[in-house]
Amino acid sequence: MNNLTTIKAVLEDATCRLDASSDSARLDAELLLARTIDMPRSYLFAHPEEPLDETTVSRFREALDRRLAGEPMAYISGTREFWSLELMVTPATLVPRPETELLVDLALREIPRRAEWRILDLGTGSGAIAIAIAKERPLSSVTATDVSAEALEVARENARQLDVPNVEFIAGDWTGPVCGRTFNMIVSNPPYVRSDDAALDALHCEPRSALCAGADGLDAIRILARDCGALLEPGGALLIEHGAEQRESVAAVLREHGWSDVACHADYAGLPRITVARRD
Ligand code: SAM
Ligand code: GLN
């Protein structure tokens, strides 16, 4: 690539190389180059013939190599947009997924704008769900936990940068850090991938502890079904994200632990991905 020195040529070459491993090859190449030259993407379209110096080309190639090795764009750029918020992400945090926005949407439909609700987000990662809810409902107090102290550092920094004061972060194992407290609602996108799922190969850069939950992917959900009831006000809802093929098993686990009104919601692709259950 050293002798490909214009924006257009570099982009064409990179798109070609990315084609085999990314279904958004051209976009990835543009985003990586825009970031390398610290310009908006539109600059690339306006200046296709602009020459690039050796240093720029070699910095771009470093980023391209990371992408070719399967690293998510979000880790290379260090950010991911979620609920229109620019969140910092690191390899200690899962990259927030668009379908998780449905969980936020369903939660917001229930949280009154003018009430001071206490909301708990278990396994907060980058803080995506907790921060989005706290931002949309400034009168509420959101508590977010994670077993990873490193992830919580990122989440805290995200809340600080986005100027969201009504969220607190506590390290610990699931409900352990909030034992004895009560909430009006609990939300969680826990790990739910089966430990032998072939899809994990493509997710090798993200923390296993954020993705995997035992042989059937339900280990974390079983813990939440068992322990969350004691933390909810009567009538309070538990909202859990899960895999598309887990609808029945999640409902069964919840009913086994005495939850009522168990209902599953489809994501934007029409797949059953969020289950809501209620404490009597
Ligand atoms: N809520 C974030 C999101 O939606 O982008 C992250 C979700 S990620 C699928 C699951 C999170 O659960 C990870 O951040 C992981 O560290 C956390 N986790 C795993 N085991 C845990 C445990 N025993 N207690 C608390 N959190 C845990
Ligand atoms: N939705 C993630 C995936 O891409 C899994 C996240 C999780 O386990 N909560 O498979």
**pLDDT band for position 221 (50/70/90)?**
very high
**Assigned token pair, 233:** 């006000």
- Please report which ligand is nearest the Cα atom of 219: 1
Ligand 1 site residues (CB inside 6 A) read 94, 96, 100, 123-126, 128-129, 145-148, 151, 173-174, 189-191, 209-210
- Please report which ligand is nearest the Cα atom of 210: 1
Could you report the per-residue pLDDT of 77-134, keeping only the tens digit for each? 999 999 999 999 999 999 999 999 999 999 999 999 999 999 999 999 999 999 999 9
Please state which architecture CATH assigns to domain 84-278: 3-Layer(aba) Sandwich (3.40)
Minimal-distance CA residue to ligand 2 atom 5: 211
1, pLDDT greater than 60:
no
- In angstroms, the Cα distances linking 227 to 52, 130, 211, 244 are 57, 19, 20, 23
Could you report the per-residue pLDDT of 262-276, keeping only the tens digit for each? 999 999 899 999 999
Supply the pLDDT for residue 4: 58
2, pLDDT greater than 70:
no
**193 CA distance to ligand 2 centroid (A)?**
6
- Please report which ligand is nearest the Cα atom of 273: 2
Is the pTM higher than 0.75? yes
Minimal-distance CA residue to ligand 2 atom 9: 191
The domain ranges of the chain are 5-70, 84-278
Task: State the number of CA atoms in the 13 A half-sphere of 30 facing the CB.
Answer: 13
The amino acid that residue 25 corresponds to is A
**Averaged over 11-37, what is the pLDDT?**
95
The DSSP string of the chain is -TT--BHHHHHHHHHHHHTTT-TTHHHHHHHHHHHHTT--HHHHHH-TT-B--HHHHHHHHHHHHHHHTT--HHHHHSEEEETTEEEE--TTSPPPPTTHHHHHHHHHHHS-TTS--EEEEES-TTTHHHHHHHHH-TTSEEEEEES-HHHHHHHHHHHHHTT--SEEEEESSTTGGGTT--EEEEEE----B-TT-GGGGGGTTS-HHHHB-STTS-HHHHHHHHHSGGGEEEEEEEEEE--TT-HHHHHHHHHHTT-EEEEEEE-TTS-EEEEEEE--
Minimal-distance CA residue to ligand 2 atom 1: 97
Which residues lie below 8 Å from residue 28, measured CB to CB, with a gap of 6+?
18, 22, 67, 73
The CA radius of gyration of the chain, in Å to the nearest whole number, is 21
174, pLDDT greater than 90:
yes
Could you report the per-residue pLDDT of 39-71, keeping only the tens digit for each? 999 999 999 999 999 999 999 999 999 999 999
**191 CA distance to ligand 1 centroid (A)?**
6
195, pLDDT greater than 70:
yes
Ligand 2: atom nearest CA of 243 is 1
Asked whether 153 and 146 are in contact (CB, 8 A), the reply is: no
Mean of per-residue pLDDT scores for the chain: 96
**80 CA distance to ligand 2 centroid (A)?**
16
Chain mean position to CA 22 = 20
**pLDDT band for position 12 (50/70/90)?**
very high
- In angstroms, the Cα distances linking 244 to 6, 192, 202, 269, 275 are 44, 10, 18, 10, 11
- Please report which ligand is nearest the Cα atom of 122: 1
Minimal-distance CA residue to ligand 1 atom 23: 173
3, pLDDT greater than 80:
no
**pLDDT band for position 187 (50/70/90)?**
very high
Give the CATH class of 5-70. Answer: mainly alpha
